[in-house]
Amino acid sequence: MSVKCSDIINIMEEYANPNLAEDWDNVGLMVGDENKIISKILVALDIDDKIIDEAIDKKCDMIITHHPFIFKGIKSIKASDTLGNRIIKLVKNNICVFSAHTNLDIAINGTSDTFAKLLNLEKVSNLFEKDNSLVGLGRVGELEETIPFSNLIEKVKGILNLNKLVVSGDLGSPIKKVGICTGAGGEVDFMLQAISKGCDVYITGDIKYHNSQVANDLGLCLIDATHYASEAIIVPVICDYINSCSRKLNMNIECITSSVNGQTLNIV
pTM: 0.93
Rounded Cα distance, 168 and 213, in Å: 8
Confidence of residue 131 (pLDDT cuts 50, 70, 90): confident
Rounded Cα distance, 228 and 238, in Å: 16
DSSP letter for 219, please.
Answer: T
* Fold observed for domain 108-225: 3.40.1390
Torsional class of 62: left (φ above 0), alpha (ψ -120 to 50), beta (otherwise) = beta
When mean pLDDT is compared across 92-96, 134-138, 233-237, the lowest value belongs to: 134-138
Residues of the chain with pLDDT > 70, as a percent, come to 97
Contact 109, 237 (CB under 8 A): yes
Amino acid at 184: A
Task: For the chain, give every domain's residue range.
Answer: 3-104+233-257, 108-225
How long is the chain?
A: 268
First to last CA, the chain: 47
Residue 132 has pLDDT above 80, yes or no: no
* Residues 79-90 pLDDT 10s: 999 999 999 999
Contact 202, 192 (CB under 8 A): no
Give the pLDDT of residue 237.
97
Show the DSSP H helices in the chain as ranges.
5-15, 49-57, 82-92, 102-106, 111-118, 149-160, 188-196, 209-217, 227-232, 234-249
What count of other Cβ atoms lies within 10 Å of the Cβ of residue 195?
Answer: 16
Give the pLDDT of residue 10.
97
Work out whether the CA dihedral 200, 111, 47, 58 comes out positive or negative: positive
* Fold observed for domain 3-104+233-257: 3.40.1390
- Two domains, one topology: 3-104+233-257 and 108-225: yes
Rounded Cα distance, 127 and 39, in Å: 38
What count of other Cβ atoms lies within 10 Å of the Cβ of residue 138?
Answer: 27
Average pLDDT, the chain: 94
Give the pLDDT of residue 95.
98
Contact 101, 46 (CB under 8 A): no
Confidence of residue 72 (pLDDT cuts 50, 70, 90): confident
